[in-house]
């Protein structure tokens, strides 16, 4: 399994001959190494409906006939755009041909802003547990820290976790470090920082708060093998 980071909250997982893309915010993302028109994805997983996470989903999914997995309301809205979707909800899991996906709680918002300044309600935000090839990846989405993250750590042996550290819209470094303690992941990668001025952070400070050897800073385009 190969996992790569592409700026903001964009994560790509290659497993079992499938390419899975999380939160493909590419156009307008000054930190990404990707070009939306070149991206290939068999599956797109969305944590919530904010524009900086839905991003280029419609374009990428239409070009690749991608399956889009999201909470039920967001999946329904995207199906109206002509996409092939699979709706889920928090606490639910489903076995796909590439692995098992389970949605976890996230404390945040979820609304898509249209070009004519309408906000489309997209249901609750979520984190995602992806299990494939005997490995478990946790993408926390956008969230505050919350004590029930301990349950995620207690019930799952997490090999790699992506946690937001930007503050302002999500948990900041101190709270994210507490989240890392709760989930007890073997590797923790900070995401959702430095894309916009309000979420400017030094990831090295976050890494310094973690259990030695668990923190990993990934620059856009960096890869990890699990």
Q: What is the pLDDT of residue 224?
A: 96
For 34-48, what is the mean pLDDT? Answer: 98
Region 87-106 average pLDDT = 98
Pairing of strands 67-71, 160-164: unpaired
Strands 93-96 and 99-105: antiparallel
Q: How is residue 36 written in tokens? A: 């939306």
How far apart (Å, rounded) are the C-alpha atoms in residues 150 and 146?
A: 8
Confidence at residue 135, expressed as pLDDT on a 0 to 100 scale: 98
Please give the DSSP secondary-structure letter assigned to residue 215: B
Mark 8-28 as b/e (b = at least 16 C-beta within 10 Å): bbbbbbbbeebbbbbbbbbee
pLDDT bracket for residue 120 (50, 70, 90): very high
- Could you report the per-residue pLDDT of 148-185, keeping only the tens digit for each? 999 999 999 999 999 999 999 999 999 999 999 999 99
pLDDT of residue 160: 98
pLDDT of residue 59: 98
Q: How far apart are CA 155 and CA 5, in angstroms?
A: 25
Residues 170 and 143: beta-carbon distance below 8 Å: yes
Pairing of strands 2-5, 223-225: antiparallel
Q: How confident is the model at residue 17 (pLDDT cuts 50, 70, 90)?
A: very high
**What local confidence, expressed as pLDDT, does residue 148 receive?**
97
- CATH (one of 3.40.109.10, 3.30.390.50, 3.40.1710.10, 3.60.15.10) for 2-217: 3.60.15.10
Amino acid 173: pLDDT: 98
Q: Which residues contact 163 (CB under 8 A, 6 or more apart)?
A: 140, 171, 176, 179, 180, 188, 189, 190, 191
Mean pLDDT of 26-48: 98
pLDDT tier for residue 86 given thresholds of 50, 70 and 90: very high
pLDDT at 76: 98
**Predicted pLDDT of residue 177:** 98
Q: How many contiguous H segments (helices) and E segments (strands) does the chain have?
A: 6, 15
Percent of the chain with pLDDT over 90: 100
User: Quick one: pLDDT at residue 208?
Assistant: 97
Instruction: Kindly indicate the confidence band of residue 21, based on its pLDDT and cuts at 50, 70 and 90.
Output: very high
Q: Which pLDDT score, from 0 to 100, does residue 25 have?
A: 98
Please tell me the predicted confidence (pLDDT) of residue 159: 98
Rounded mean pLDDT of the chain?
98
Q: What does the pLDDT average to over 199-205?
A: 98
């Amino acid at each position: 399994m190969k996992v790569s980071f592409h700026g903001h909250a964009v994560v790509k997982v290659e497993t079992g001959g499938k390419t899975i893309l999380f939160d493909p915010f590419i156009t307008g993302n000054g930190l990404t190494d990707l070009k939306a028109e070149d991206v290939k994805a068999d599956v797109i997983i969305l944590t919530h409906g904010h524009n900086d996470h839905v991003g280029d989903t419609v374009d990428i999914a239409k070009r690749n006939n991608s399956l889009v997995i999201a909470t039920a309301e967001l999946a329904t809205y995207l199906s109206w755009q002509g996409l092939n979707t699979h709706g889920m909800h928090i606490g639910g899991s489903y076995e796909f041909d590439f692995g098992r996906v389970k949605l976890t709680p996230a404390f945040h918002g979820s609304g898509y802003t249209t070009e004519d300044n309408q906000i489309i309600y997209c249901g609750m935000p979520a984190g995602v547990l992806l299990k494939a090839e005997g490995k478990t990846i946790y993408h926390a989405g956008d969230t505050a820290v919350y004590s029930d993250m301990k349950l995620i750590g207690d019930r799952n042996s997490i090999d790699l976790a992506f946690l937001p550290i930007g503050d302002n819209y999500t948990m900041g470094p101190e709270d994210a470090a507490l989240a890392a303690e709760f989930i007890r992941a073997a590797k923790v990668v900070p995401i959702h920082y430095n894309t916009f001025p309000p979420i400017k952070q030094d990831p090295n400070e976050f890494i310094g708060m973690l259990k030695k050897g668990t923190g990993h800073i990934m620059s856009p385009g960096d890869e990890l093998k699990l």
